[in-house]
Chain A
Amino acid sequence: MSEEKQNPVMAALSLMMRYRNFVIGAVLTGLVIVAAFLSTVWTPHSATDLAIRSRLQFPSLEHWLGTDHFGRDILSMIMVGAQNSLIVGIVAVGIGVILGVGLGLWAAARRGWTEELIMRFSDFTFAFPAVLSAIMITALLGPGAVNSILAIGIYNIPVFARISRGAANAIWSREYIMAAKAAGKGRFRITIEHVLPNITSVIVVQATISFAIAILAEAALSYLGIGTQPPEPSWGRMLNDAQTYATIKPYLAIFPGAAIFLAVLGLNMLGDGLRDILDPRLTRGR
């Protein structure tokens, strides 16, 4: 960019171009959030009431994205389904962040056999594929939205434990940690005041990516019938329902599929964008 003087609009545009991952990701993610919040107060039609007379309609002015085999409005279902996906993502990532980061920081602060124990436990949990362990947990606890959230959350714990331990270990070897020790601070205090703030960016980036994985996992579990149970709309279940009509009414699968795709794409791009912004060294290295 050789032009020194740019008007504010151009400057804003060029800034957006520089962080286009972040901007596109934020817009897509924002769309999901807006849809979810809007659906709590307003949807075009009811997402759960059956209207057999208007079943399997093509998209129209009345039903923008058409209706399913029970005559439910697809757009409304997608909007309410966004709620579901968001809650699953927030709670599952929340479980992962709180327990995982806690364990990771503990491991890094204690070292020795505590670290060994925590990390080997993480490896053990991590060795099971996400969806498989989720199926296992729902098989034990029974199907349902809460159990699938729990399953995805448990899968997230070792992810965050590993990443925060690695990042925290790097911080612990910094000289300002030695200086903090020499100033008389204990391990706990150093962890909260020095280590955690310095690894926040890593955790935030991982959280957005794990959020996307959680949405995908929830959709997969619901598709398999062990996640969110009817009549609660969910993107995964909509895909399952659409399966039967895929040849005659393909839009039934395309719309919820597109919703999952855009939400996951948005979160991944947001994560990438955040990483570029929060860790400028990484961007320059590329």
Chain B
Amino acid sequence: MALLEVKNLDVTLATSRGPARAVRNLSFDLDRGQTLGIVGESGCGKSMTALALLGLLPENGVTTGSINLDGQDLLTLNEDAMCGVRGNRISMIFQEPMTSLNPLHTIGRQVTEPMLIHQGMTRDQARDEAVRLLERVGIASAAQRLDSFPHQLSGGQRQRVMIAMALSCKPDVLIADEPTTALDVTIQGQILDLIADIVAEAGMALILISHDLGVIAETVDRVLVMYGGAGVETGPTASLFEHLAHPYTQGLFAAVPKLGSGGRRGQGARLATIPGLVPELVDLPTGCTFADRCNIADGQCAGTVPTVHDVAEDAGHRVACLKPDDAKRQFAPAEAGR
């Protein structure tokens, strides 16, 4: 049994325009020491999945399916029991280090708090541990920094503090929701390396949420591509980037700007985009959610739930598409041209 098993997860948000299905029928497993990347455009359900794992959906959200952590279904736990899970067994690193720390409390207070709540440490023990954690995440003169306030730190330092907070109770699962989006490119690599190192060191499971394929490719073992709230392709990172079996994955990959592509001397090239817009979650098509933007879709796609095909069986690389062969053929010439 895997550490974290998500089965048929559905998240429905009650909106004024009707129920919006933010996550549909999502399943994945994650074991200790494994890293999973979730990729997709804004609004595809990545963050909703993360919040559902922590039981922190907005009040209008309803979750069905099951989320098993060590065999216990988190969806059956009450609020008090979930408070014991959050920050203790599952932690989260947020996107915005600038606003995710309370401006009125010192760094030390914010880093020690999870340990005081969950581990019953004394203040002194927690303080010593906080110094160790801050040193581990690469904050210089950590002991003095404990008494600093968030505004006295740079963005990168604050994200390091957030990581220290998330790690303080040695969680089983660490969720990083776009942890580097708000940071300088120069810092991004350092933070990602830090997260990867710590995860490997402690043998925890990592879920890295990002829209940046580069970040995903470098950091995680397995990738889950989401579109319109559903998982459209999942597989080991290498296999996924080799095959790009779903038309949406192909589109995402093509949309990454590349140096030297396109026109003469690489200038004036248009950026590749996926035509159309992310579908409204309120009125999704009954079949494949990507059908109206897909260049190989035909009449039946919009009305039929896509079947799951194995791309590379032994590696567990699967794609949800009605026409996987057409998708493969479409991708082949591009591959030849590389």
A residues apposed to B, CB below 8 Å: 111-112, 174-176, 178-186, 189, 193-194, 197-198
Contact = CB atoms under 8 A, between A and B. Distances in A.
A198 B56 CA distance: 22
Contact of B56 (A111, A182, A186): A182
Contacts of B99: 174-176
Nearest 5 Cβ contacts at the A-B interface: A184-B87, A183-B87, A184-B86, A175-B99, A182-B92
Contacts of B166: 182
B184 interface: no
Given A175-B94, A182-B91, A186-B83, A111 B100 contact: no
Interface in B56-96: 56, 59, 79-80, 83-88, 91-92, 94, 96
Contacts of A178: 56, 94, 100
17 contacts: A176-B100, A178-B56, A179-B165, A180-B102, A181-B86, A182-B54, A182-B92, A182-B94, A183-B113, A184-B83, A184-B84, A184-B85, A184-B86, A185-B117, A186-B79, A189-B117, A198-B102
Nearest to B91: A182
A186 B117 CA distance: 10
Nearest to B95: A175
B185 interface: no
Of the candidates A175, A180, A184, A198, the one having the most CB atoms from chain B within 10 angstroms of its own CB is A184
Contacts of B101: 176, 179
A221 B103 CA distance: 44
B32 interface: no
A274 to B, nearest CB: 17
B324 interface: no
B328 to A, nearest CB: 40
Nearest to A189: B117
A232 to B, nearest CB: 43
Contacts of B156: none
B162 A179 contact: yes
B257 to A, nearest CB: 29
Contacts of B100: 175-176, 178-179
A193 B110 CA distance: 11
A182 B100 CA distance: 11
Contacts of A185: 83, 87, 113, 117
A193 B116 CA distance: 14
A76 B114 CA distance: 58
B277 interface: no
Contacts of B293: none
Band of interface residues on B: 20 to 34
B96 A184 contact: no
A77 to B, nearest CB: 45
Contacts of B105: 193
A183 B80 contact: no
B83 A179 contact: no
Given A179-B94, A183-B165, A184-B83, 19 more contacts: A111-B59, A175-B100, A176-B102, A176-B103, A178-B94, A178-B100, A179-B101, A179-B165, A181-B86, A182-B87, A182-B94, A182-B166, A183-B86, A184-B86, A184-B88, A184-B118, A186-B80, A186-B83, A198-B104
A174 B102 CA distance: 9
Contacts of A184: 83-88, 114, 117-118
Contacts of A193: 105
Nearest to B84: A184
A161 B334 CA distance: 63
A183 B114 CA distance: 6
Contacts of B87: 182-185
Nearest to B162: A179
A116 to B, nearest CB: 13
Of the candidates A175, A176, A179, A189, the one having the most CB atoms from chain B within 10 angstroms of its own CB is A179
A17 B218 CA distance: 58
Contacts of A182: 54, 56, 86-87, 91-92, 94, 166
Nearest to B89: A184
Nearest to A180: B102
A194 B84 CA distance: 19
A41 B68 CA distance: 71
Interface in B21-64: 54, 56, 59
B56 A197 contact: no
Nearest to A171: B102
Contacts of B86: 181-184
Nearest to B88: A184
Contacts of B54: 181-182
A256 B88 CA distance: 63
A9 to B, nearest CB: 32
Of the candidates B56, B100, B103, B165, the one having the most CB atoms from chain A within 10 angstroms of its own CB is B100
Interface in B155-198: 162, 165-166
Contacts of A198: 102, 104
Contacts of B96: 175
B167 to A, nearest CB: 11
Contacts of A179: 92, 94, 100-101, 162, 165
Contacts of B118: 184
A99 B198 CA distance: 47
Nearest to B111: A183
Nearest to A186: B83
Contacts of A186: 79-80, 83
Contacts of B79: 186
B30 to A, nearest CB: 18
A31 to B, nearest CB: 33
A198 B104 CA distance: 7
B204 to A, nearest CB: 15
